[in-house]
Structures are given as structure tokens and as C-alpha cells.
Amino acid sequence: MKKPMSIKYPKIYLVLDNCFALKRWVEPAEWMKITKEIGFDYVEASFDNEIDFLYAPDSYIEEWFYTLKECEDQYGVKVVNFHTGYQTYRTIGLAHSNQAYVDGLENIWFKKAIDKLSKRGNGLGFAFHAVPDNKMKSKAAYRESEDQVRDSLNRLCDYADQVGGTCKLSIEAMYAPHQPPWTIATTKEYLNYNPDLYITVDVGHMIGQKKFQFPSLDEVEQAVNERKKLEKPSFVLFSQKACETWEQLKAKDTVAKEEIDTFYKLILEDDYLYSKDARDADPYAWLEELGCYSPIIHLQQTNGISASHAAFTTETNRTGIIEPKKVLQAIKASYEKAHENLLYEEEKKVEAIYLSFEIFSSNTDTTQEIKDRLKETFDYWRQAVPADGLSLDELV
């Protein structure tokens, strides 16, 4: 009889993403000082906050990282991870059809970041690609795009290993078909790309999967009979052939049952456009399935309908579905269960998880309002994680 493996639970840390500081506190000394005053000892640095490799000159980058280390020593705050932000989120990035464009992103952005972060022992989280609509319309083109992204990710993981292997790469899961990975199943496919590729789970990114649930035959028949696409499940992302068939059916006075069956078969072929598991819309299911492979977990309060990156305050918690104890319990469950269809099931389980608060502020917020919300967030979560570096099994 095989002896069960002992479970090694991760250490848990509360981390503040410095996206809260955008266009307000832009020098490391400024946002570090505020971070410390709020109560955090650890930071996730957003590349949006005046340190993006696409537009910052090398001399500035060198000076910035030198200053960062000085400020860490001065304030007793450590930057543990870096993450892409809105700037890089706006491009199709690694899925671009122009290989020179992709090569430029790999060499100018990723490799520069990996070089710097490897020296510091920091992780790199990123959302840096999307599939354009013309490729979403064809399963073959979609797969070709995904193969291209896989090849890029493999090259980047290999590069990170070559320069020391201390920079852990974590691709962020999103919430719509054109932003893979966006379901639990597709995220597992990404984890299988490379033994050194991890995942960033954001607990607010489960808001679109309900809309893109795979439709039943009855739902498709209803849509055809009413000559309109149903909001849920969404029939927005047909393949090209299914789009043409849909337009033909809408133009008819009557539609035979056989025609509906044929149309449904076309949709079945478009399975890559849909979520086939209701659990894809449940943040706790994501944590149970993928938490142990997520060195970075982004936290925001959400009502399950929108992902506004809200703080954890008395007001937002009334309607919010993210609760500290449930989050920790779900992550713990991920260490205790068997994970199907994963090539690196045990060896990829991370030894530290950084619960990183990615809280956005409005342009109309006062600086004091921002600080107060972050302080309330910290105090709320400190009840569940009384000290950084405690083992997960001690907390649950």
C-alpha cells in the first residue's frame, strides 16, 4: 500500500499592490511610507507605477531599482512580486500576429524584467495577451494563436531558468473567452505548458464565465425561435460558419427542428468559446483547484457581478462574497486534494502564497479616503492572518 505523502502547507503573507498609488504617490519612498503606515510589510509593485520597461530608459530603471532597495531598508517594507498593470493589459501582446512585435515584447519587456527580478528573488505576474476577434471566429486560428502564446511562455520560462531560476512566472487568469486562460480547465492546460509556469488567481475574475456557459439544445432552440441571442448563455462568439448559419436562420419565416439540431452541432464544435463547468464562475472553486499553484492571489471585494477592485470595508463587505476564512479554507483544500490532468501536480505546489490586495481608487477619491479604505482592508484581513509567514494549516 502506497504511503500517503505528508502535506507541506504554504506560508501566507498579506501584500499590498501599489496600484493604489498611481499618479499620486509615484516615488518608492512615498508609496512605501504609506504602505508601512497602513500596516503592510510586503508589497506587490505594479509596473504601471512609473517603472514600465516599454517606456522607461535604462538609466532611469537602474536608478529606480537602486532607490527601491534603499527604501526597503529604510521603511522595513519588502517588495516581493511585480505585476503587469493596465498599460500592458491593453495589448494583445504575446498573441500578436506579427512575430517581430512578439519578439520585441519578449526581449524589451519580459527579459529585462526577468533579469532585474531574478537578482532580487522576486516573482513576476502578468496578463499580457488576448486573442483578437478574427482568430476567435475560427477554431484552427484560435489554436494557432494559443500555440504561439505557449511557445512564448516556454521561451520565457526557459530564460528565467537560465538566469538563475529565482523569478517565478505567474500568468493571470481572466474572465472572458478572448482572454485565456479563463476557465479552470484551460488554466490547467497552461500549467502543463512548463514546469516553471504558475498561475495568478484573482478572486474577482469569475464574473464573465456565467455569461459564456455552454448552451443547452433547448436554449439554442429558444434563441432560434425568438430570433434573438439570449443574454445567458451568450451567443456572441460564434465561429464564422455558425455566424453565417445564425443569420440564415433569423431570415427564415419558419425553422425546422432538423435545422436547429444542425446549428447546435456547429456550436458544439465551438467548445473553445464556452465554459463547460458552472464552477468556473465560483472564486472558491478556483482556489480549491488552483490555489496551491498560485504564488500570487489577487484579492478584491466583489459582489460576483462586477470586478471593481473594491476594498474590504464595512460597506462593501455587506454585499461582497469574498470572506477571509473561506478563502483560506479553499486554498487549504487545494493542498489536500488530488489534481487531475496536471503534469506537475506535486512538485509545483508553492511554498509561499502572497495574498495581494489589488485595490483601485477613483480619480475623485481624496488621498485620505484611499488610505482609510486600505487601512480598513488591512485590519479586516489581519483578523484572519494575524501575522505574516504563518503556515496555512495554523490559520485554518
Q: Is it the case that residue 128 has pLDDT exceeding 80?
A: yes
| All domains in the chain, ordered by first residue | 11-208+279-395 (3.20.20.150), 217-271 (no CATH)
> Across residues 191-201, what is the average pLDDT?
97
pLDDT for position 237? 63
Q: What angle do CA 151, 163, 157 make, to 5 degrees?
A: 20
pLDDT for position 5? 64
> Across residues 348-370, what is the average pLDDT?
97
Distances (CA, A) of 58 to 54, 160, 182: 10, 20, 35
pLDDT tens by residue, 223-249 = 898 888 777 666 666 788 888 999 999
pLDDT for position 340? 84
Phi first, then psi, for residue 275 (nearest 5°) are -90, 130
Residues 6+ positions from 73 with CB-CB distance below 8 Å: none
pLDDT tens by residue, 252-307 = 999 999 999 999 998 888 889 999 999 999 999 999 999 999 999 999 999 999 99
SS3 label, residue 137? coil
Percent of the chain whose predicted confidence (pLDDT) is above 90? 86
pLDDT for position 21? 97
pLDDT tens by residue, 371-380 = 999 999 999 9
Predicted TM-score (pTM) of this structure: 0.96
pLDDT tens by residue, 61-99 = 999 999 999 999 999 999 999 999 988 999 999 999 999
Measure the CA dihedral 251/257/261/262, to 10°: -50
> Across residues 304-324, what is the average pLDDT?
97
pLDDT for position 236? 60
pLDDT for position 3? 40
**Dist. CA 296–CA 294, nearest whole Å:** 5
Phi first, then psi, for residue 170 (nearest 5°) are -130, 115
pLDDT for position 1? 33
